[in-house]
Amino acid sequence: GGRTRAGQPLEEAFALAADADEVIAVGVNCCAPEDADTAAAIAARVTGKPVVVYPNSGETWDADARAWTGRATFTAGQVQGWQQSGARLIGGCCRVGPEAIAGIAGTLGAA
């Protein structure tokens, strides 16, 4: 399984929300797009709640250079995998712009 940015196993992190009636959905935000499949599947399995996937573009923020580095790995084509893994609320975080959001909507068949 995956781990949180702080190093905890995702199973343990999501288990904290499993029995909390106040928590209506669980998921990931601002993670690398390639980590979303595993995270969504774990969140769905552990909690049985609707899953949120809002990854970043895949680029990395370099605080010293005060600039984004690397390349964007987020694609609308990944959306179906996230959905198959359990995601029901899908969007994007850092550096995921309107064009990518439109691609998500198109992939999911939104009007």
96 belongs to a structural domain: yes
Indicate the number of domains in the chain: 1
Which domain does 20 fall in, by range?
10-70+77-103
With a CB cutoff of 8 Å and minimum separation 6, the contacts of 56 are 30, 31, 32, 33, 74, 92, 93, 94, 95, 96
CATH number at residue 83: 3.40.50
111 belongs to a structural domain: no
For the record, the structure tokens of 14 come out as 């999501």
Mean pLDDT of the chain: 91
Please compute the mean of the pLDDT values over residues 40-63 and round it to a whole number.
94
Q: What band does 65 get if pLDDT is binned at 50, 70 and 90? A: very high
Per-residue pLDDT of 14-48, as tens digits, reads 999 999 999 999 999 999 999 998 999 999 999 99
- 110 pLDDT higher than 70: no
The conformation of residue 86, written as its DSSP 8-state character, comes to T
- 1 pLDDT higher than 80: no
With a CB cutoff of 8 Å and minimum separation 6, the contacts of 58 are 32, 33, 34, 70, 71, 72, 73, 74
